[in-house]
Chain A
Amino acid sequence: NAGVTQTPKFQVLKTGQSMTLQCAQDMNHNSMYWYRQDPGMGLRLIYYSASEGTTDKGEVPNGYNVSRLNKREFSLRLESAAPSQTSVYFCASGGGLAGETQYFGPGTRLLVL
């Protein structure tokens, strides 16, 4: 039981390049989330998916797109990376209307030059 897994662990991009961050969970959760964590600002929600086939914007969605590929997988895409997107990105699953806890992946550290 791996929980929430993320790939890659670390990535360096040049401004304007694109990339997709991958996330998978094996806990059969309906809800999945993408957060970014910046120094001194806590975690902020980028996008979430309440169930397979649905996605909604969070607090900071600009510059990102997401895909809920199936119940297990939720990917985050940066179409044209900017230095302001340098951050640590966390995927999570669980939570939802039942009010259960969210389970977090280990994070992806992204540096945009």
Chain B
Amino acid sequence: KQEVTQIPAALSVPEGENLVLNCSFTDSAIYNLQWFRQDPGKGLTSLLLIQSSQREQTSGRLNASLDKSSGRSTLYIAASQPGDSATYLCAVISSGSARQLTFGSGTQLTVLP
């Protein structure tokens, strides 16, 4: 059974810092990996999707990398801003279960002004 872990569970940084969020998964046979953002009391917003054949994806100040062989992904946020404060969730779709996203429990990020 696929398990997704995100460490740390919470992170607080001063504005302007570059930071890295970590995600690991136990079964490397994945179809794709996605990073989502969740604001308090809201739904999830997709940030980046990396297909299994890709190594990274970039969107603005966000860069996500994928290393399938080691079962790891990182989300890099450059020049963090208070508006980046949210919970960031990593999720994978395992091969052979093409529609089922398995989520990590998230990293709660606070960017201090």
| Interface set of A (CB-CB < 8 Å, partner B) | 4, 31, 33, 40-45, 48, 50, 58-59, 90, 92, 95-97, 99-107
Contact = CB atoms under 8 A, between A and B. Distances in A.
B99 A96 contact: yes
B43 A45 contact: no
A95 B44 contact: no
A42 B103 CA distance: 6
Given A33-B101, A40-B105, A44-B103, 9 more contacts: A42-B4, A43-B91, A48-B99, A95-B93, A95-B99, A97-B99, A102-B101, A106-B42, A107-B43
Interface in B8-58: 31-32, 34, 36, 41-46, 49, 51
B89 interface: yes
B78 interface: no
Given A31-B99, A97-B98, A42 B105 contact: yes
B70 interface: no
Dominant secondary structure at the B interface = strand
Interface size class of B (residues with CB under 8 A): 20 to 34
Nearest to A3: B43
Contact of A43 (B32, B49, B98, B101): B101
Nearest to A39: B105
Max count, chain A CB within 10 A of own CB: residue among B42, B43, B49: B43
A92 B44 CA distance: 9
B43 A105 contact: yes
B19 to A, nearest CB: 21
A90 B91 CA distance: 15
Nearest to B34: A101
A48 B100 CA distance: 8
B104 interface: yes
A4 B42 CA distance: 13
A104 B43 contact: yes
B111 to A, nearest CB: 22
Nearest to B91: A43
